[in-house]
Structures are given as structure tokens and as C-alpha cells.
Chains A and B, each alone.
Chain A
Amino acid sequence: MQRRVIFNGTALPLLLLAPQLAVTAVFFLWPAGVAVYQSVLQQDAWGLRTEFVGLRNFAEVFADPDWRAAAWNTALFSAAVAGLAMGAALVLAVQADKSIRGARAYRTLLIWPYAVAPAVAAVLWLFLFHPSIGLIGRALNANGIPWDTRLNGGQAMALVVLAAAWKQVSYNFIFFLAGLQAIPKSVLEAAAIDGARPVRRFWTVVFPLLSPTTFFLLVVNLVYAFFDTFGTIHALTGGGPGKATETLIYKAYVEGVQNTNLGSSAAQSVILMVIVVALTMVQFRFVERRVHY
């Protein structure tokens, strides 16, 4: 059912839309426009001379082995974060769906990490896994496992994945729990009477019925891992050691802010923008066509 309100004239509707339009213009359209403009320009190191170079910035970015390494890191990082965050959230949601006593407290506790700022969360993980002062880091070293995220790239990657995934578990948990609770109890009972044991019931009935939620979360998690993990990486490893944890978004920052290569940084930002627009379009098409059982 749709309720339509009919306005006389265009002044009032425009006024009502103005705040949203202003926010979109100032924080998206303008910077995005500047990025696109910058991406076809090249400046000297002191910003004195600017010349139009067409698509040369893009060509250089694609040819840059460092950028390719960052792209590979991003793919690895995103897949790991999405997989870990969704897997953990699903397990927790299934447990929360079962539990009766203390369910409320359990749910509240699980939702908390989402409210923690990325940098704060990163510091928390940094302290836990610090090789010389961290609780877990020291325990690992004491037990003969050489652990130092400042030296070992693989370990650094594992740490940022863990920290980034941890923050996203809450969000996924809420959606999975809602999805689980939307499955009619009688359908599960019918499956039980039909002879399906709990594990079989989960994979043949529960999981397929959760697939719309799972797909939605997959896109959201990928977008999160691509774009919203800058703070976590910046605080934990700063992209290092070497460039082991440098993702595309981090590289765009390093290129523009540290190396002041604005043209290249802008080109990388535009590439990222294309990726996020593509993901959003997939999401929107899916939401429109979403199958309601």
C-alpha cells in the first residue's frame, strides 16, 4: 500500500528535500566531482603547474605493481572479513535463536561491538596481540609461536582481518537473527517429523530460507571491507609491514596524502567509486527483485 501526498507547487517539496540534497551535494557530489576532475590532471610536486593528461593516470595505476598488490590484498582481505564476520554471526544467531533464558542480555552483548569506534576497536586488538605487552601476543610467543605483527606480513593481515570482522559481526548477527526468527516454527517442525535431524534441517531448510539475508549481507560486508576499514588498518598496521596490509582504499590515502600524488590518488578513488557503485546497483536490483517467501 502506498500513501501519496499531493503538494501544490514545488516550493514546499524542494524545501523538505533540501537538507538531504545538501548533504548529498556537499559530501558526495562535490568531492566525487573533484576526484573525477583531478584524475585526468597531473600536478608537479609543489602544486605549481597542472596539466591535462587524459586517462594516463588510470593507465599508470593499472600498470603499477604496487597497486596490483593492493588489489590482491583487498580481495583477500574482503573475502576473509566477509566470510569470518558472516560465519561467526550465523553461528551466534543460531545459538541466540535457540536460547530462551538470558536471550536478551546475550543479544545486547553481541550488538555492542558495532557501537565501538573503529580506531578504539583497533587499539583494543593492538593491545591484545602486541608481541611484548599484549595478553595473547605474549602468550603466543611464550608458547614457542613467534608472533610479531610488525615483522610478519601474514600475521599482520590476520590481525586486521580479525579486528575488522569482529566489528561487523554485530551487524550481521542482527540480520541473521531476524532472518531466523522469520522462519515459521511449524516449517521446522514439519522437517523434524519428516525425519530431518538438526544439522540436515539447517542445511536443507534454514539456510536456503536465509539466502536472501545472506546475499544482502554479503554485499554489505564487501562494501564494508572495501571502504569502511580504513580506520582499523590505519590504527593497527598503517598498511605495513612493508605493504602487506595495504588495501586499495589505504593506498589511495597514502598516494594522495603522504606522497601528494593527487592525480594518481584521484584516479584510484574513481576506480573505487566505480566498484562501490557497481556493488550498490547489484544490491538495489536484488532488493527490488527480492523473493518473499
Chain B
Amino acid sequence: MATLELSGVEKSFGATPVLHGIDLRVAEGEMIVVVGASGCGKSTLLRIVAGLEEPTAGRVRIGGRDVTALEPADRDVAMVFQNYALYPHMTVERNMAYGLRIRGLPKAEIARRVGEAAELLGIGALLGRRPRQLSGGQRQRVAMGRAIVREPALFLFDEPLSNLDARLRVQMRAEIRRLQRRLGVTSLFVTHDQTEAMTLGDRLVVMHAGHAAQVATPMEIWARPANTFVAGFIGSPSMNLLEAQLAEEGRAALLRAGPSLRFADGARPGPAGRRLLVGVRPEHLRPVAEGEGGAPLDVSLELAEPLGSESVLHGRLASGEAVTARVPGLVAGVEGALRLSIQASEAHVFDAETGARLDAVG
């Protein structure tokens, strides 16, 4: 158990920069999920922490010790790989014991640790088998076991669930979370799956093009995305981003689609006419009920996707912008006009130029 601290970590492959200065402090026992689209640099970041890649600049500290120049072997970390990376020629038991044997632990101690981990993961009956005789879920458990027996300072997970089928993934996700809580080991978990990120992480690092777009708890990322990238990346279907201009001395946004939305929490800085993007989550666009406040939006409906308990509606505004709404119940008609409303308290305001979130001043 230890803390992890990254300061100004940069990485370039040749002339191509992949990471542009990542800063991160992970507290003892914390589970941090690094989430982002493929190619955003999240796996590179994990490999730098593991010592499999060397950073171009910046420092990595584990438990206060600078490990930037150390080999993976000397960092006291354990990693679970996407393809599990089990040793094909060794039995499950040997796979789990490999790291301990190299460190020259006494036989009895190795047997005890392997036995305990096997018990914990429910793979006690598989100890004599080879990896190729195991199913995907079982291999996953063995890979976890190999990490657990090491009792490392840090767990690293490199998309460990993406090779499993959907049902198993949900099950293993919960299991990893339970194990991590129980063992209390500081963990870094890389994934491209936002559901995994939201459910597993104490905090998330949302990566975008080599930058950490936002580092915060899942709920904060959901409630207050720091920029349009995070706003669009987290949440399914994606948040609607509607073009608007600042109006009424910063107290309202005039949507290009027509209506004006008066901010619930105060004025935004900037001159009148400043270009904005107003973000509204699909579930926050509701059919207008009588006597309700909020800005009304006229939507011409193009497609309705019934999902059972709710429906996803795809339509277009008067301005030609596409919108998505998630409404409860089944919507039968496929075409037609519909009026939806935005509640000011549920709208997110971003600067259209930089994409950064604009909060109320004062």
C-alpha cells in the first residue's frame, strides 16, 4: 500500500507527443480509473507507471520514493494485462507463484499466499491446470491472483475486462471493486468504458489527446464536467451541446435554436454575444408539462428508439442542430413535432472557443 504521485509526466514517441504533462496524486488505498478513447495516451501513462515505458520528462513517485529511473522489477507494482499475459507453459499455481519464487520467498510462505489468493478468487480447483485449459473468466481470475499474491504497493489494470463477454464483465467489475476495497491496495485502472469508469473509480482521470481533461470523482464529473470533451464523453447517449450567445448582461444564453435560457445560478463573465455551448443531458430534456418553467425547444422528431422502460428520441431543432432526448415510457410515433424543455438548473455552460466550463461569477 502506498501513494502514487505523477508530476509533469510527458511522453513522445519520436516527434509525436503522446502525453503533455500529466499531474496526479493518488492517495493510499484509492482506486483511480483512467478513462479515454483509444489513442488518448491512457495505456502509455499506465506503462510509464509500471516502468515498461520511460517518460520523456517528469517524475513518478510510489510511496514517496522516486521510481522514474527504476526497472519494473524494482517498483513493487503488479499489473493485470488486457490479454492476461499468463505464462502458457506454467500451471495456474506456478503462474501465481512466479513473482514470489523470483523474490526467493520461503516455500511455505509462497504456498500460503497462493492458497489464500486462490481461495479468495474461487480458483482453488484450477491450480494444476494450464492457462489454455481455462475459460476467459478463469484466466482473468488467475491474472488477478498473480497480482494479489505479490502484495504490491500498487495494482495496475490495463483494460482487464475488455476481452470478456458482457455478462462476465459486469460480474468481474463488481468483483474487482470488492477485492480492491477489501485489500485496500492503491490501484490505477485503465479503461475506455465509461460505465466501468463510473462504477469502479473513487476518482476518474478523463484523458483526451494526451491531456488529463478532468480529474474528479465520478459524480462531480457527471454533475460538473470541466469542458465539452468530458461533457460529451461521459454519459450515454452523449450530452447535447447547443450553440448560444451570452445575453442579458451575462444572465442568460440566447440559443441559436430560438429560446433564451436564463441561468439559475447567476451571471457568466464576458461581453454580450460571447459564443457559448449550452450542454443538456438527453435525460434532462423533458416533454413540456402544463405550467412548467424552463426554455421550450421545438424538435422535429426523426427517430425513436424504444428501450423498454424508456425511449431515446433523435430529432432536429429549428436551427438544424441535432438533439437527443431520453424520455420515460414508450414513444410510438416515429415522426412529428415535439416540444421539450430545458431546466436552467440542469444546463451546463461552456465557452465555445476553448470548450472550458463557465461557472457563475460571485
Q: Is the CB of B81 within 8 A of A190?
A: yes
CB distance from A187 to the nearest CB of B (A): 5
Given A189-B52, A189-B72, A293-B132: A194 touches B146 (CB 8 Å cut-off)? yes
State in angstroms the CA–CA spacing of A195 and B150 once bound together. Answer: 10
- A-B contacts, 15 of them at CB < 8 A, read A184-B85, A186-B81, A186-B82, A187-B86, A191-B98, A193-B51, A193-B72, A193-B99, A194-B102, A195-B73, A196-B98, A196-B102, A209-B89, A293-B89, A293-B132
Q: Closest B residue to A204 by CB, please name it.
A: B98
Does A200 reach chain B (CB closer than 8 Å)?
yes
Chain B 84-124 interface mask (CB, 8 Å, partner A; 1/0): 01111100000000110011000000000000000000000
Q: Is the CB of B85 within 8 A of A186?
A: yes
CB distance from B104 to the nearest CB of A (A): 10
Select which of B52, B75, B82, B88 is within 8 A of A187 by beta carbon.
Answer: B88
Q: Is the CB of B88 within 8 A of A195?
A: no
State in angstroms the CA–CA spacing of A218 and B87 once bound together. Answer: 24
Instruction: Give me the interface of A with B, judged by CB distance under 8 Å.
Output: 184, 186-187, 189-197, 200, 204-205, 208-209, 211, 292-293
CB distance from B73 to the nearest CB of A (A): 4
Does B247 reach chain A (CB closer than 8 Å)?
no
Given A186-B81, A189-B85, A293-B132: A195 touches B103 (CB 8 Å cut-off)? yes
Provide the residues of chain B in CB contact with A208, threshold 8 Å.
89
Select which of A189, A193, A204, A293 is within 8 A of B88 by beta carbon.
Answer: A293
State in angstroms the CA–CA spacing of A195 and B89 once bound together. Answer: 18
CB distance from A214 to the nearest CB of B (A): 13
Provide the residues of chain B in CB contact with A192, threshold 8 Å.
51-52, 71-73
Given A187-B87, A208-B89: A193 touches B50 (CB 8 Å cut-off)? yes
Select which of A190, A195, A292, A293 is within 8 A of B85 by beta carbon.
Answer: A190
Of residues 18 to 58 in B, which have CB atoms within 8 Å of A's CB atoms? 50-52
Given A191-B98, A293-B132: A196 touches B73 (CB 8 Å cut-off)? yes
Chain B interface main SS type = loop
Given A189-B72, A205-B87, A209-B88: A194 touches B98 (CB 8 Å cut-off)? yes
Given A187-B85, A293-B88: A193 touches B102 (CB 8 Å cut-off)? no
CB distance from B232 to the nearest CB of A (A): 32
State in angstroms the CA–CA spacing of A191 and B72 once bound together. Answer: 9
State in angstroms the CA–CA spacing of A192 and B70 once bound together. Answer: 12
Interface centre among A192, A208, A209 (most CB of B within 10 A): A192
CB distance from B158 to the nearest CB of A (A): 9
* Known A187-B86, A194-B98; 11 more pairs at CB < 8 Å: A184-B85, A186-B85, A189-B81, A191-B87, A192-B51, A193-B50, A193-B51, A193-B77, A193-B78, A195-B73, A196-B102
State in angstroms the CA–CA spacing of A186 and B87 once bound together. Answer: 10
Q: Is the CB of A194 within 8 A of B150?
A: yes
Provide the residues of chain A in CB contact with B85, threshold 8 Å.
184, 186-187, 189-190
Does B79 reach chain A (CB closer than 8 Å)?
yes
Which 5 pairs from chain A and chain B are nearest by CB? Answer: A194-B99, A293-B88, A186-B85, A190-B85, A195-B73
Provide the residues of chain B in CB contact with A195, threshold 8 Å.
73, 99, 102-103
Given A186-B83, A200-B102, A293-B132: A193 touches B73 (CB 8 Å cut-off)? yes
CB distance from B301 to the nearest CB of A (A): 48
Provide the residues of chain A in CB contact with B89, threshold 8 Å.
205, 208-209, 211, 293
State in angstroms the CA–CA spacing of A204 and B101 once bound together. Answer: 11
Q: Is the CB of A197 within 8 A of B87?
A: no
Provide the residues of chain A in CB contact with B88, threshold 8 Å.
187, 209, 293
Provide the residues of chain A in CB contact with B51, threshold 8 Å.
192-193
Interface centre among A189, A194, A200, A209 (most CB of B within 10 A): A194
CB distance from A197 to the nearest CB of B (A): 7
CB distance from A211 to the nearest CB of B (A): 8
State in angstroms the CA–CA spacing of A208 and B98 once bound together. Answer: 14
Provide the residues of chain A in CB contact with B75, threshold 8 Å.
193
Q: Closest B residue to A211 by CB, please name it.
A: B89
State in angstroms the CA–CA spacing of A208 and B88 once bound together. Answer: 10
CB distance from B145 to the nearest CB of A (A): 13
Q: Is the CB of A197 within 8 A of B73?
A: yes
Select which of A193, A204, A293 is within 8 A of B79 by beta carbon.
Answer: A193
Provide the residues of chain A in CB contact with B82, threshold 8 Å.
186
State in angstroms the CA–CA spacing of A177 and B351 once bound together. Answer: 55
